[in-house]
Amino acid sequence: MPAGPGDVPTLETPRLTLRKVEIGDADLRYAMRSDAAHVRHLLVRPAADLEEARARMAWIVRDVTLRGSKAWTLVVKDGGERVGQVAICRVDLENRSASLAYELLRSASGAGYGREAVERIVRFGFEEMGLHRLQAEIDPANERSRRLVEALGFSHEGTLRGSRAFEGGFYDDAIYAKIAG
């Protein structure tokens, strides 16, 4: 695995630059996570304030430095606006597997940026990190996210019923995965 912990190379797609996340992206994180419609499928409470978003960004930066996750902020080449974040997280080196995370500002959704960015990090995960398996855990009601990974060749392997506890209820996780090759 050539890319070691802390190493997050800048990646390019036709319309986006993907650069390593930084604490200064807390405002973007807050803009996404304070939007109730955005967090609906994530099973998290909307972020209360910028401080909470900054604490979460700090956690992500530490996860990249210490545990080998890769996390990028998406910057639109035309104009330089930051529109979202994507990550390869829960990296399991022994089994060469990891999970995907991706989210966009609602104002930037529906333009294909999500698919463009996720396609690029999937390629990075297989070709440059040497991963064998990439997984996405998706709220079964999150149609757009399911379509996104299906379009990239992920298969629905099944659904973990009642596997996530949130605010007194239990929720399902649809498991999608793609294998190298």
Ligand X SMILES: CC(C)(COP(=O)(O)OP(=O)(O)OC[C@H]1O[C@@H](n2cnc3c(N)ncnc32)[C@H](O)[C@@H]1OP(=O)(O)O)[C@@H](O)C(=O)NCCC(=O)NCCS
User: Per DSSP, what are the bridge partners of residue 87?
Assistant: 71, 101
Give whichever of 65 and 150 is closer to ligand X, judged by the CB atom: 150
CA separation for the pair 161, 18 (Å, rounded): 34
Smallest separation, CB 162 to ligand X (Å): 18
Distances (CA, A) of 141 to 41, 43, 144, 159: 7, 12, 9, 12
Contact pattern for ligand X over residues 37 through 56, marking x by CB under 6 A:
-x--xx--------------
Give whichever of 26 and 148 is closer to ligand X, judged by the CB atom: 148
Which of positions 101-160 make contact with ligand X (CB under 6 A)?
Answer: 102-104, 109-115, 136, 138, 142, 144-145, 147-148
Residue the block writes with tokens 């996340």: 21
Closest CA to 157 of 143, 170, 174: 174
Looking at residue 126, the DSSP 8-state letter turns out to be I
Single-letter amino acid code for the residue at 38 = H
Give whichever of 113 and 124 is closer to ligand X, judged by the CB atom: 113
Give whichever of 37 and 94 is closer to ligand X, judged by the CB atom: 37
How many CA atoms, within 13 angstroms, populate the side-chain half-sphere of residue 23? 8
Smallest separation, CB 55 to ligand X (Å): 20
Query: Residues interacting with ligand X, by CB under 6 A?
Result: 38, 41-42, 102-104, 109-115, 136, 138, 142, 144-145, 147-148
